[in-house]
Structure formats: structure tokens, C-alpha cells
Amino acid sequence: MRMFDLDNPDIDLFNMVDDELIRISGSELYVYKFMVDHNFDPLYGESRVKAIEQEGILVEGHYDPRAFEENLTEFGIEMTNDQLFTFNKSYIEAKLGRPLIAGDIIQPRFQDVYFDVYEVQQDGFEVYGVYHLIASARVLRDKPEILGHE
């Protein structure tokens, strides 16, 4: 029954080890927080204008950079580069002041490319709880219009 004890010090130990592993093997990333506004279109289930904070928050996370793929389809050239980002759950929530959500934008510090998060999943051990957040993101093509950067 000790495995299900929420005051078990092993839980904090696993969380610290997970956070350290992501920091050692990860990269610095800027997260631009999506601000939920009341300009919501119920028909399409999304906001008409995406409100993003202009200042990014520097966090540490892990991702595997890949080259962009530009495939020629019947509709023209299509850029496909979905990216997975892994964060320690307690670390990212402390840095952002809230959980990472769909709509947030991630920019690797040493790349001039922006990724729009479209799904966030929790990953962890069955016994000890959730330690990872895995964010699925796609390349953001209209970056200047949303973030106001050139």
C-alpha cells in the first residue's frame, strides 16, 4: 500500500530526477501563452482572433529537431513538420503559472521557427503519477500576423 501513499518521498524524488533529465538533455524554448478571450465562435469551436502574449517565457524542454518536409501534393506544396515537445509537468506549470494548453506557441531559442501547440497529453508512471507533458505542435506559418514579429 506504500505505492499509493501520496506523501511518499519517492514521488518528489522521481519528479526531481525527471526534471533534471529534461534540463540536461533538452533545449531552451520560448513559450508564448495563448490568452483565452471571449471572442469565441461557437460554430467553429475556436476564437476568431488568436490572442497571444507578445513576450515569450524562457523554459527548458526536450524535442528532436527535424528537417522540414515540403511535399508536392495535388493541392500544391505542403509543409509537414509536426513536432513533439516534452516538458516536466510541475516545472512548466510553475514557469507559466498555468498548465501548457493547446493554442500556446513554442519557439526554440536557436531556431527562427514557431510551432503552434494543438494537443497536450500527460505521460507518467501508473503508480507515481504524471511527470511529463507531451505537446504536439505544427509549424506556424502566419507568425508575423499573430505575434507581431518580423
Say what the pTM is. 0.76
Q: Tens digits of per-residue pLDDT, 54-85? A: 888 999 999 988 877 777 888 887 777 789 99
Whole-angstrom Cα distance, residue 118 to residue 39? 19
| Mean local confidence (pLDDT), 17-22 | 84
Residue pair 125/111 in contact by the 8 Å Cβ criterion:
no
CA-nearest of 115, 118, 64 to 86 is 64
Using CA atoms, how far apart are residues 111 and 64, in angstroms rounded to an integer? 13
CB atoms within 10 A of CB 118: 13
Least-confidence region, from 25-29, 68-72, 103-107, 115-119: 68-72
Distance CA 2, CA 70 (A): 52
C-alpha cell read off for 82 = 509536426
Tell me how far CA of residue 124 lies from CA of 16, 78, 79, 121, in angstroms.
13, 34, 32, 10
- Which conformational region is residue 103 in: left (phi greater than 0), alpha (psi within -120 to 50 degrees), or beta? left
DSSP assigned state of 2: G
**Rounded distance, CA 150 to CA 145, Å?**
9
> 29 - beta bridge partners?
59, 108
Q: Confidence band (pLDDT; 50, 70, 90) for 107?
A: very high
